[in-house]
Structure 1
Amino acid sequence: MGPTRKRDLAGTIAAVAVAGYLLVVVLYRWFPPITVWTGLSLLAVAIAEAGWAFYVRSKINAGQIGVGGGRLHPLSVARGVIIAKASAWVGAIVAGWWIGVLAYLLPRRGELRVAAEDTKGVVVAVVSALALVVAALWLQHCCKSPEEPPDGGDAAPE
């Protein structure tokens, strides 16, 4: 299992945004009101993942410099990587959806009162989904094992 590639996430965001826009063109009249609270759950998950990433990074750094308590159970780090990968993909898909909705709403804010009211909630949802992607990528990065220090006496011959 390799690291999540940013270009794959960006491609997913773009593809889902196009598909989302096309769906919204047809289905927007049946949408419920989109409030600011709509996307905040993703922001809460992003904050939790960022906190987890800083915890993992601090434990790894403490283990490298010899300060006590720098050990993490390997399965907890593996779970962190799995959650990070899943969250990055979920964040990319949801961000693509909300970007598609936003692309539909922005030009119609002047003519549709509902579009103007929904725009704030959609912007919060887009920012929250992108924050989840960033936090997931950061957690994935923090779960990497540190580089092995080079041995002083075992230098390879040139």
Structure 2
Amino acid sequence: MSFTQPGQLVGAGLIGLVVAYLLARLGYSDLPTLPVFSGVTLLLVALIELVLALVLRPRVLRKPGTEPVESLTAARAVALAKASSLAGAIMTGCWLGLLGYLLPMLEVVHAARQDTLTAIIGAISAAALIASGLWLEHVLRNPDDPEEPDEPEE
């Protein structure tokens, strides 16, 4: 399994942004006002991953008094980290796409003000999910593996 690349996250975020913007253009007038804290669930998942990373880090580094991480547990946590960073990128794009639709109409549509706050909270929460996913993935790197692949000798 390869580590998450920035291009993967940027691509997923751009897809989310375009889709959310287009959907907002097509159907925003039919939606009810968004709950202000609807994006906070992503922040809760990010906090859970942060705690998981804090618990697993000493075990991965084989600190004295800690039990080593089982390989299946590490693999599951890496899968969670990769999925979370990708989901966070998609949702950041979605919230930014909605924000891009709402900002020009702030003065015209009353509901756009509250929905703008919702989009900002959601984007921040989704960005936190990206960060926690990437950090958890970093924490789970095998300390015995070299950071950079060795260059072949000539």
TM-score, normalised to structure 2, is 0.88
Which residue identity lines up with residue 102 of structure 1 in the other structure?
Answer: L
Query: Which residue of the partner structure matches residue 106 of structure 2?
Result: 109
Query: Which residue of the partner structure matches residue 138 of structure 1?
Result: 135
Query: Which residue of the partner structure matches residue 150 of structure 2?
Result: none
CA distance in 2, matches of 1:148, 1:48: 27
Work out the percentage of aligned pairs sharing the same amino acid: 36
CA contact (8 A) 1:34 1:121 kept: yes
Matches within 5 A, 1:38-117: 38-61=38-61, 63=62, 67-117=64-114
SS in 2 for 1:9: helix
CA contact (8 A) 1:59 1:71 kept: yes
SS in 2 for 1:37: coil
1:148 is displaced (CA, Å) by 5.8
How much is the aligned-residue C-alpha RMSD, in angstroms? 1.5
CA distance in 1, matches of 2:60, 2:19: 41
Runs of 4 or more, structure 1, over 2 Å off, are none
Bigger Rg over Cα: 1
Query: Which residue of the partner structure matches residue 8 of structure 1?
Result: 8
1:137 is displaced (CA, Å) by 0.7
CA contact (8 A) 1:35 1:120 kept: no
Which residue identity lines up with residue 53 of structure 1 in the other structure?
Answer: A
Matches within 5 A, 1:142-157: 142-147=139-144
CA contact (8 A) 2:58 2:66 kept: no
Query: Which residue of the partner structure matches residue 28 of structure 1?
Result: 28
CA distance in 2, matches of 1:36, 1:141: 32
CA contact (8 A) 2:92 2:123 kept: yes
Q: Deviations over 1:17-72 (max 9, x none)?
A: 122111111110112211222001110000000111121112223x1x5x122411
Moved more, 38-47 or 83-92: 83-92
TM-score, normalised to structure 1, is 0.86
